[in-house]
Amino acid sequence: MSKDDLITFNGKVCDLTGGGTYHVSLDNGVNVKARLCGKMKKFNIKVIVGDSVSVGLSPYDPTHGLITQRMKVASTRPK
C-alpha cells in the first residue's frame, strides 16, 4: 500500500511512548497510535507532545497511523 492510499486526518500528539510510538488525538475525537514516516526520520524532524500533525490511516486498520507532516505553528515570541 502506498502513501496515496492512506486516509489523512489532522490531530494533536497527546502522548509519546517508547519505541517511537505516538498517541494522537484526531480532530474527530478518535485516539490512534502512530509512528513517524520514513521522510520525517530521514530529515530528523522532531515531534513532541502538543504538536499538531497530519496522520495517514489505513482503511484496513484505522487504529494505527503514520505521521506524515508536522504542522507549522505561529511564533509567540515577542518582538
CATH at residue 28: 2.40.50.140
State which residues form the domain around 58: 3-70
* Cα distance between the two ends of the chain: 46
Q: Does residue 14 form part of some domain?
A: yes
- Domain total of the chain: 1
The yes-or-no verdict on residue 16 having pLDDT over 90 is: yes
* Pairing between β-strand 64-70 and β-strand 31-36 as defined by DSSP bridges: parallel
CA 42, 56, 6: angle at the middle one, nearest 5? 110
- Percentage of the chain surpassing pLDDT 70? 89
76 in a structural domain: no
The 10s digit of each residue's pLDDT in 50-79 is 999 999 999 999 999 999 999 987 555 565
Q: Report strand pairing: 52-57 vs 7-17.
A: antiparallel
